[in-house]
Amino acid sequence: MTPARLLSTAVYLGVARHLPWGPRPGGGVSKRLRRFLAERMLDECGQDVNVEHGAWFGSGKGIRLGDRSDLGMDALIMGPLTVGADVMMGPRCVLISDNHATGDTGRPMNRQGYVPSQTIVVEDDVWIGAGVTILPGVRVGRGSVVGAGSVVTKDVPAWSVAAGNPARVVRARKRSEP
């Protein structure tokens, strides 16, 4: 980890993460500071991003955030994760690319370690509602909406609305083009 990333991570986790969220007094300055630090922490950080109060993404390693996208208030991000442009994320979302190994029934699960990380991909122009959980290896297609409280265990096709636990496509946002 570079010294700049290390320092930015320490300032973000120790101070900036806890500053007021956007609409509160002081929120504008807080958002600018979080964006400044995210630009130094994330592997890629687009222009005009928003990292809200309480968002946790470790050192930012393996995380790519596109232009005009945001990490919602109190989000928990464990990459690798790629977020496209113009993505909205509600509060308290959980996006986790890691998973525990569970295949050896002769050993306790807490002693089996982890399986290799699977990157989560959120394509452009997606709205992730409040409290959504997205599991390892999932791709959320362009122009999709994921309803609040959903648990996304499988890919969501482009231009669709998915909701539930597990999340299922409940309707299309756009008709198929011939």
SS (H, E, C) 83-141: ECCCCEECCCCEEECCEECCCCCCCCHHHCCEECCCCEEECCCCEECCCCEECCCCEEC
Please state whether beta strands 114-115 and 145-146 pair in parallel, antiparallel, or not at all (unpaired). unpaired
- Using the structure block, give the residue that is written with the tokens 């982890």: 114
**Any idea which residues carry the catalytic annotation?**
100
Residues 74, 113 contacting (CB under 8 angstroms): no
Alpha-carbon dihedral 94, 82, 69, 175, rounded to 10 degrees: -90
d(CA 153, CA 59): 25
